[in-house]
Every structure is written in C-alpha cells, then in structure tokens.
Structure 1
Amino acid sequence: MEMRELTVMAGSFVGFQLLYSVVSPLLSSVLTKGYGRLPPTKLNEWNSRTVSTVHALIVGLFCLYILRYDDAVNADPVWGDPNLVKLNVAITCGYLLYDLVLLACNWSTMGDSFFVCHHLAALYAYGFVLSRGVLPYFANFRLISELSTPFVNQRWFYEILHYPRSDRLVVANGVAMTVVFFLVRIAVMPSYWESVFATFGTPAFERLGLAAQVAWITSCICLDVLNTVWMYKITRGCYRVLTGARKSKAKASNGDGGKQAHMNNHTD
C-alpha cells in the first residue's frame, strides 16, 4: 500500500472521528431542538448516522464520477488504472475502521453483528485493491450501494424525533429508501455478477491468484446476502408505513364525515 493511500485512510479515520465528536453535535443542536432532548445513547447513534450520511454522499458521488469518466477502469475492470478508485476505497476503509472502533466502544447500545460482518468483509476485499491495485472496477461498483444510506439514516432521524409514521415526509422517505436501496443494492446484482463471470478463465483473472480470487468472490457473496436480508426488512417496514398512512387517512376521513353528519343533525 502506498503512502498516499495510507495518508488518505488515516485522514478519513480522523476526519470522521472529528465529525462525530465535534461537528455533528454542534450542527445538530442548531438544526433541531430535538437533538438536545435525546438520551446519551441516542446522541451517540445520531452523531454516528450523521457521519454515515456524509461518508455515503462523498464516496457514492465519487463512485458515479469514476464510473462515468474513468475510461481506464471501465476498459479493464480487473487491472485498469486504480488511482482514483484507490482514493475512494481509502476513504471508505478509513470510515469502516472508525465505525468498527465506535461499535466496539458502544457495543451494548450500538452493537450489530450484521454491520461487523459487513465491515470486515469489505475491509478484507478492499485490502487487495489498496495493496495490489486489482479489481478497481468491481471495488468501485460496490460503492454505488452507499447511495441508499442517507435515506436509511433519515428514516431513523424521523423515528427518534417522534414523527408519526403517517407524516408525508416519513412516507416519502420510506418509499424513496426502498426504491433506492433496491436499485443500488439488489437490481445491480445481475449485471455485476455477469461482469464477474465474464472474467472467469481469462488471463486477467488467473493473474489475480487464489487469495485475491477468494477474497473477491466470498466478500461479494457475503455482502449480497446481507443486502438481501436488509432489503427484506426494509420492504416490510415500507409496507407498514404505507398501510399505516392509509389507515390514518381513512380515520381522518371518517372523522370528518362523522363531524359533518353531527353538524347536519343539529342544523336539521
């Protein structure tokens, strides 16, 4: 791993830590009064999700830029010039290390074995990208999934601030979260795996060696299993939000009808 990537990773780790401990508390307390009324455990998770959203926007948008304009990576997905991809991956690795430390320090309130598995699988695979510069296209393609994270975090923000599930903002975010999560994590699976299978048996694939091949394939399988599980949970949550919103509208409509009938009886 080159000094540039190590520096970016260290800077990412420190920067996200500062965002968690300094920037998020100051900014959140200004933006919403509800932040100051949260218990300490929820404050930690609030700041963590703020950092998560910022990271997702940075690497997700950078990922789209690389997919659109990095011709070398698109032309040779296994051994293409990885310079920009390595920067993006280094930012993500710094974030993943920061988040693992945070989870370890707050395991009783924030611990989640799914996230630990996700982070370790990603770090294992991204280590080959940073150390050997291999699989830049596939590593970068995986980062598209981060674009769903801001919607997932926003759902939690609404919930912790006690927005009713029938609120239009909650419903809109729930639908957007489900759609975007599906598009960037589930719908892309066929095309991604088609590209993976297309490399099998090629000289470029053989040059990777067994260790990189195993790291690549096993981490992808683990991540896709986790994404499928999360998709199932998100879909169930979206369904509950939509049905709850319809029930609330029905109750409101019935209430207005009852009031109107009551008024008519008195006027008669």
Structure 2
Amino acid sequence: MAMRELTVVTGSFVGFQLLYSGVSPLLSSALSEGYGRLPPNKLNEWNSRTVSTVHALIVGLFCLYILRYDDAVNADPVWGDPNMVKLNVAITCGYLLYDLVLLARNWSTMGDSFFVCHHLAALYAYGYVLTRGVLPYFANFRLISELSTPFVNQRWFYEVLQYPRGDRLVVANGIAMTVVFFLVRIAVMPTYWESVFATFGTPAFVRLGLGAQVAWIVSCVCLDVLNIVWMYKITRGCYRVITGASGRKNKAKASNGDGGKHINNHTD
C-alpha cells in the first residue's frame, strides 16, 4: 500500500473517531432535544449512525462522480487507472476499521455478526485494490450501495425518538429506504454480475492471479447474500409500517365520522 493510501486510511479512521466522540454529541444535542434523554447505549449507537451517514454521503457521492467522469476506469474495469478509486476505497477502509473497533468495544449492545461479516469481506476485497490497484471499476461500483445507508439510519433515529410508526415522516422514509435500498443494492446485481462474467477468461482476468480472483468473487457473493437478507427484512418492515399506518388511518376516519385527519404527535 502506497504512503498516500495509508495516510488516507489512517486519517479516515481518526477523523471518523473524532466525529463519533466529539462532533456528533455536540451537533446532535443542538439539533435534537431527544438526544440528551437517551440512555448511554442508545447515545453510542446514535453517534455511530451519525458517522455512518456522513461516511455514506461522502463515498456514495464520490462513487457516482467516478462512475460518471473517470474514463480510464470505465474503459478498463480491471486494470484502469485506480487513483481516484483508491482514494474513495481508502476512506471506506478507514471507516470500516473504525466501525469494527467500535463494535468490539460495545459488543454487548451494538454487536452484529452480519455487520462484522460485511466489514471483513469488504476489507478483504478492498485490500487488493489498495495494494495492487486492481478492479477499480468493480470496487467503486460496490460503493453505490452506501447511498441507501442514510435512510436506514434515519429510520433508527425516528424509532429511538419514539415517532409513531404511522407518522408521515416515518412512512415516507420507510418507503424511500426500501426503494433506494432495492435500487442501489439489488437492482444493480444483474448489471454488476454481467460485467463480472464478461471478464472471465480474458487476459486481464488471468493477469489478476488466483488470490485476487477469489477475493473478488467470494467477497461479492457474501456481500450480495447479505444484501438479499437485509432487503427481505426491510421489505417486511416497510410492509408493516404501510399497512399499520393505513389501518390506523381507516380506524380514525371511522371513529370521527367526518373524514378528519388523524394527527400523529411525535417527540423531538
């Protein structure tokens, strides 16, 4: 790994740690009165999800920029110039290392084996990108999935602040989360794997060597299995929110008899 990438990974790790322990508590206290009323374990997860959202926005938007404007990577997805992709991947690796440390320190309240598997699979594959500069297009393409993360975190924020499930903001975010998660993690699978299969047997693929080939394919399979599992859970949750909101709305109309609006109060 070149000094530049190592510096970015280290800076990312330290920066996200500072965001977690310093910036998030100050900013969250100023923006939400409910933040100060949370128990310690919820405060830790709140700060963790704030960092997660910031990371997702940074790398997700950078990913779209690279896919649109990095001609070298798009022209040669296996061996194209990886400079910008390495920067994006290094930011993500720093975040993943920070998050693994955080999970280990708070395993009793925040531990999740799915997230550990996800992080380790991603680090394993991204290590080849940083050390050998291979597969820049595919590594960057995987980061599109981060664009769904802010909606997932927002759902948790609403839940911990005790917004009713039928609240319009909760329902709207639930629908948006399901749609965006499907678009950036599930709907892109055929296109992604079509591009993967197109490289099989080519000189560029053979040049990778067995280690990089296995790291690439195995990690992608693991990540997509996890995405399918998460998609199933999110779809079920969205269905319950929509049907629950619809049922409460119909009950309110029936009890009012005048078609009046059902008002949902929420805490902040």
Pairwise TM-score range, normalised by the shorter structure: over 0.9
Cα distance, 1:265 vs structure 2: 30
1:234-249 equivalences under 5 Å are 234-245=234-245, 247=249
8 Å contact from structure 2 (residues 121, 222) kept in 1: yes
Indicate the residue corresponding to 1:58 in structure 2.
58
Structure 1 stretches of at least 4 aligned residues deviating more than 2 Å after TM superposition = 246-259, 262-268
Cα distance, 1:266 vs structure 2: 34
8 Å contact from structure 1 (residues 73, 82) kept in 2: yes
Indicate the residue corresponding to 1:228 in structure 2.
228
Cα distance, 1:250 vs structure 2: 4.8
2:164 match: secondary structure: coil
Cα distance, 1:251 vs structure 2: 5.3
8 Å contact from structure 1 (residues 166, 248) kept in 2: no
Indicate the residue corresponding to 1:13 in structure 2.
13
Q: Deviations over 1:208-230 (max 9, x none)?
A: 00000000000000000000000
Distance 1:248 1:33, change over 3 A: farther
Distance 1:131 1:168, change over 3 A: same
Q: What is the CA–CA distance in structure 1 between the aligned matches of 2:256 and 2:239, rounded to whole Å?
A: 22
Q: Deviations over 1:75-112 (max 9, x none)?
A: 00000000000000000000000000000000000000
1:263 match: secondary structure: coil
Q: What is the CA–CA distance in structure 2 between the aligned matches of 1:108 and 1:137, rounded to whole Å?
A: 37
8 Å contact from structure 1 (residues 74, 80) kept in 2: yes
Q: What is the CA–CA distance in structure 1 between the aligned matches of 2:27 and 2:123, rounded to whole Å?
A: 30
**Unaligned regions of 5+ residues in structure 1, if any?**
none
8 Å contact from structure 2 (residues 164, 265) kept in 1: no
Q: What is the CA–CA distance in structure 2 between the aligned matches of 1:143 and 1:125, rounded to whole Å?
A: 12
Distance 1:155 1:258, change over 3 A: closer
Distance 1:81 1:46, change over 3 A: same
8 Å contact from structure 2 (residues 158, 170) kept in 1: yes
8 Å contact from structure 1 (residues 174, 241) kept in 2: yes
Q: What is the CA–CA distance in structure 1 between the aligned matches of 2:260 and 2:133, rounded to whole Å?
A: 69
8 Å contact from structure 2 (residues 25, 47) kept in 1: yes
Distance 1:252 1:15, change over 3 A: farther
Cα distance, 1:264 vs structure 2: 26
Distance 1:252 1:20, change over 3 A: farther
Distance 1:5 1:254, change over 3 A: same
8 Å contact from structure 2 (residues 103, 110) kept in 1: yes
Distance 1:251 1:16, change over 3 A: same
Distance 1:178 1:104, change over 3 A: same
TM-score, scaled to structure 1: 0.94
Superposition CA RMSD, Å: 5.2
Identity among equivalent pairs (%)? 91
Instruction: Pick which of 63-72 and 249-258 moved more.
Output: 249-258
8 Å contact from structure 2 (residues 167, 264) kept in 1: no
Cα distance, 1:255 vs structure 2: 5.8
Cα distance, 1:256 vs structure 2: 4.6
Distance 1:14 1:252, change over 3 A: farther
Cα distance, 1:4 vs structure 2: 0.2
Query: How many pairs were matched up?
Result: 266
Cα distance, 1:258 vs structure 2: 11
8 Å contact from structure 2 (residues 166, 264) kept in 1: no
Q: Deviations over 1:16-58 (max 9, x none)?
A: 0000000000000000000000000000000000000000000
8 Å contact from structure 2 (residues 162, 266) kept in 1: no
Q: What is the CA–CA distance in structure 1 between the aligned matches of 2:257 and 2:11, rounded to whole Å?
A: 57
Higher helix proportion: 1
8 Å contact from structure 1 (residues 89, 130) kept in 2: yes
Q: What is the CA–CA distance in structure 2 between the aligned matches of 1:88 and 1:218, rounded to whole Å?
A: 21
